[in-house]
A and B are shown apart, each in its own frame.
Chain A
């Protein structure tokens, strides 16, 4: 079983559309993990059935029981997150600012502060239209995207893939370079970097590749909307060759990606011409590279 992770650094480069096309091409042999739990969009193209759903708890949040509070203010003094304030003479916790460190509860002389488990989101196992299974999630609003829900989604996908003897796990990763991305990358056999030829695209690609290097994972790159700026595109190609990143392909700026999305279709369902042919060839290459 091989694990392929698609990331982009910068958002809006076409990462999810390309991942969904790969998932469709991979069919029953590919378990999909949507690890972009903060703004998950794969479900809009893969039509999951939400067959299994479970709450996901992560971390804690402080709660002050007013009946026993003697208003000594010790909790406010020790909180480093400005999460406790006095409202109408009552000490209250702002659950959004609270990081669940539990320090206030430890110093509370009347033991009136409790730490409750924090509901961080929900995760799902679904059948999807490619004939396979997708593990996905929805992070709660303002929840701590510390990578734990991402790890949960990935590990569940991995277990299913092993149990059902699937060949591949395909992971749609998050943007950025922080915890969720680190969590998406760990254990991957191959990384597909999706970028666009813009100053931001190149800047973010370089930063996210620094992270990939730390994991020593082999990487390939797809330059989407390549014809928007041929000069920048050439710069990216040079960066790829200097860093031993496989230049998988260039894709043109094509509003058909949006048209397919509006219909809830992946690109390989919508298009039966050149784009589908390119994506099919690249998916075969990615499979091969991930197994090498």
Chain B
């Protein structure tokens, strides 16, 4: 697997709890048996991939977002800052300017447009990034601080860290947050290929169709992996057929898999059919992105 442009695979799902983390961790470990791979947990609100690996902590850093800080001595109370803030994060009460960090989007308008430089931007911690080494596997995760509402800046900074430090590694897997809103867009918009994990149930189908719309809006190539295959009904299969969406693999519904997951254990080594699926998924992603040249 040489002579390849680095491949970025995002693993996402509309519905939570369908098996994103199961697929991400098992796929990363499977690839790591052969070559160097990066696994990045971008589900910063509830990151779980790290529960499946015990590695050596290589690097840890606090991640900050920039917010304005009022400098009373320079302020002339001209009234521009509350006017230019579209998020109501800067308000004026009498002779005081108040900043609400949780509402601030770090657009810099108030700070740049202040005529007396009375609102310098200062860093505020939003989370912590950790980088672990486990043989061939580099595992990077970020954890959003509790009470911090915005996940997107932390996701974006985590991606930048990975690009700067592991940009040359041939495969990077991004474990994305659930849903279809901003954090998912941020986590998947630069991926070469997106794998949507679903389960063959009405909830699974409904949320898959939302995730498909999201990927189409982002113009990302994508395929589906059906987890817990065997429960529910066959409507997910029918939907994928009608919509011409490739089904990359079906992971069987098996209580033993659920038990291994619940203990934080990888499962592909115990299930040869799952190992075959991982190989199929990887082969498909490589082919799809490189137009057949692996």
**Alpha-carbon distance between A77 and B106 when the two chains are bound, in angstroms:** 15
Interface positions, chain B 130-147, Cβ under 8 Å from A, are 144, 146-147
Interface of A: prevailing SS: loop
Residue of B nearest to A145 (CB): B181
In A162-213, the 8 Å CB interface with B consists of: 174-179, 182, 196-201, 203-204, 207-208, 210-211
- Residues in B with CB closer than 8 Å to A146 are 149
Q: In this complex, what residue of A is CB-closest to B14?
A: A39
Whether A10 and B112, one on each chain, are in contact in the complex, defined by CB atoms closer than 8 angstroms, is no
Which of A44, A143, A145 is in CB contact (< 8 Å) with B202? A44
Contact in complex: B201, A12 (CB < 8 Å): no
Complex interface bits, A96-112 against B, C-beta within 8 A gives 1, otherwise 0: 10011111001000000
How far is A211 from B46 in the complex, measured between Cα atoms in Å? 12
* B178 and A211 form a contact (CB under 8 A): no
Q: Does the CB pair B185–A142 fall under 8 Å?
A: yes
CA distance A177 to B51 in the complex (A): 18
Contact: A39 with B180, CB < 8 Å? yes
Segment at the interface with A among B32-40, B68-76, B259-267: B259-267
Is residue A266 contacting chain B, with contact meaning CB distance below 8 A? Answer: no
CA distance A201 to B233 in the complex (A): 26
Give every chain B residue within 8 A of A9 (Cβ-Cβ). 46
Type the 1/0 row for A229-252, where 1 means its CB is closer than 8 Å to any CB of B: 101100000000000000000000
B109 within 8 A of A: yes
A80 near B181: Cβ-Cβ < 8 Å: no
Determine whether B117 belongs to the interface, using a CB cutoff of 8 Å to chain A: no
Q: How far is the CA of A228 from the CA of B14 in the complex (A)?
A: 25
Q: Which of the 9-residue segments A128-136, A253-261, A281-289 touches chain B?
A: A253-261
Question: How far apart are the CA atoms of A283 and B207 in the complex, in Å?
Answer: 27
Closest to A138 in B: B210
How distant is the Cα of A209 from the Cα of B201 in the complex, in angstroms?
A: 29
Given A103-B109, A178-B149, A199 and B180 contact (CB-CB distance below 8 Å)? no
Identify the closest chain A residue to B178 (Cβ): A11
Cβ of A264 within 8 Å of any chain B Cβ, yes or no, is yes
For B48, B51, B107, B184, the residue with the greatest tally of chain A CB atoms inside 10 Å of its CB is B107
B262 in contact with A10 (CB, 8 Å): no
Q: A106-B113, A229-B262 are in contact. Are A11 and B206 (CB under 8 A)?
A: no
With contacts A103-B108, A262-B201 taken as known, whether A145 is within 8 angstroms of B232 at the C-beta atoms is no
Question: Is residue B258 contacting chain A, with contact meaning CB distance below 8 A?
Answer: yes
B182 CB–A CB distance under 8 Å = yes
Check if A13 sits within 8 Å of B107, measured CB to CB. Answer: no
Measured CA separation A142–B152 after assembly (Å): 12
Which of chain A's residues have a CB closer than 8 A to the CB of B15?
Answer: 11-12, 39, 41
Chain A interface size, under 10 / 10 to 19 / 20 to 34 / 35 or more: 35 or more
- Answer whether A261 and B202 are a contact pair too, CB < 8 Å, given A103-B108, A145-B182, A198-B262: yes
Decide: A13 and B180 in contact? CB cutoff 8 A. no
Of all chain B residues, the one with the shortest Cβ separation from A147 is B149
Question: When the two chains form their complex, are residues A39 and B16 in contact, meaning their CB atoms are under 8 A apart?
Answer: yes
Residue numbers in B under 8 Å from A158 (CB-CB): none
Q: Mark A1-13, 1 if CB is under 8 A from B, else 0.
A: 0000000011111
Also in contact, A142 and B51, with CB within 8 A (given A11-B16, A182-B149): no
Within 8 A of A (CB), among B11-38: 14-18, 21
- Rounded to whole Å, the gap between the CB of B32 and the closest CB of chain A is 20
Contacts of B113 in A (CB 8 A): 106
Contact of A103 among B14, B84, B258, B259 (CB under 8 A): B84
Contact B206 A44 (CB under 8 A): yes
CA of A267 to CA of B183 in the docked complex: distance in angstroms? 32
| Alpha-carbon distance between A113 and B243 when the two chains are bound, in angstroms | 38
* Given A101-B107, A178-B144; A41-B214 close (CB under 8 Å): no
Query: Which 4 pairs show the lowest CB-CB distances between chains A and B?
Result: A12-B17, A11-B16, A101-B107, A198-B262
Residues of B within 8 A of A (CB): 14-18, 21, 45-46, 48, 51-52, 84, 86-87, 105-109, 112-113, 144, 146-151, 177-185, 189, 201-203, 206-207, 210, 213-214, 217-218, 231-233, 255, 258-259, 261-264
Known: A103-B112, A176-B151, A262-B201. 19 other contacts (CB 8 A): A11-B15, A11-B178, A12-B16, A12-B18, A41-B15, A78-B112, A100-B86, A101-B107, A101-B109, A106-B109, A106-B113, A144-B181, A145-B182, A175-B16, A178-B45, A178-B150, A196-B262, A198-B261, A200-B51
